Amino acid sequence: MAIYSVSKPPFLVTDDRSKIDFEVVYGFLSQTYWAPNIPRETMQRAMDGSLCFALLKDGRQIGFARAITDRATFAYLADVFVLEAEQGQGAGTFFMGAVFAHPDLQGLRRFMLATRDAHNLYRKFGFAEPKRPEMLMEIVKSPTDLYAQKIDQK
């Protein structure tokens, strides 16, 4: 597969795995409200099974996102971040525009995400509350419980 990249200096968005700094990604995500203390192996497996994107500024990683997708009908956007020091400069909007423009994410029947605090950003790209939330179901397990369970099993 060809590497996807979109540039708007000083920013670059790419799906080139060699440009993703795992330490930056893991360091940030392991401190988030949605993945506190996620084990390194779990994060690596999650990335291995996803279409991953790096947001770079002057060659340094400042953001990350991944799409869990079949690349035909469905995608779920996860683990999106822009480092706090880099926010407020248009990086997030540029980043999401480049992610949603990826060729493998075109023509999907459904694109979903969950966010606690970035609704306005995602609305710019057409996201809205589910029209029929009664159709959606989920199983939610506390990350803390999941990670503790893994440690107990070792």
Domains, in order of start, for the chain: 5-153 (3.40.630.30)
At 74-107, the pLDDT tens digits run: 999 999 999 999 999 899 999 999 999 999 999 9
The number of residues making up the chain comes to 154
Cis peptide before 10 (omega within 30 of 0): yes
Residue 147 has pLDDT above 80, yes or no: no
Chain mean position to CA 52: 7
- Closest CA relative to residue 1, chosen from 139, 85, 104, 142: 104
Q: Would the pTM of this model clear 0.85, i.e. be above it?
A: yes
Residue 153 has pLDDT above 60, yes or no: no
State the burial class of residue 15 (Cβ atoms within 10 Å of its Cβ: 0-12, 13-18, 19+). Answer: buried
- Predicted confidence at residue 154, as pLDDT, reads 55
